[in-house]
Amino acid sequence: EAVVEPLIPKSLDWVKCSYQTPKGLLRSEWRKENGHLIVDLTIPPNLVTQVRFKKEILLLDGEELGRNDLRLTPGHHTLTVAL
């Protein structure tokens, strides 16, 4: 299991990063947009990922969510987070 818990400094508007796990490449990108944080995660096969934010995750793949942590399965996910 992997953990993604981004720190969002005021001085940065976007970040793109990746990490080679034993299961494959885990990619994370985020950008500030219209008062929200848009996060794109790509999780490799057979890797469950815990995602945590200090603020509320408003949307997960376009569906309302309303919490600040969750477990994601492999695949591509887009989250909208309160700033």
pLDDT of 12 higher than 90:
yes
Give the pLDDT mean for 35-59.
93
pLDDT of 48 higher than 90:
yes
Under the banding of pLDDT at 50, 70 and 90, the label for residue 17 is very high
Report pLDDT for 55. 87
pTM above 0.85, yes or no: yes
Report pLDDT for 46. 94
Report which of 47, 49, 40 is spatially closest to residue 16, judged by C-alpha positions: 40
How many alpha carbons lie under 13 Å from residue 60 in its C-beta half-sphere?
14
When the pLDDT of each residue in the chain is averaged and rounded to a whole number, the result is 93
Give the pLDDT mean for 34-60.
93
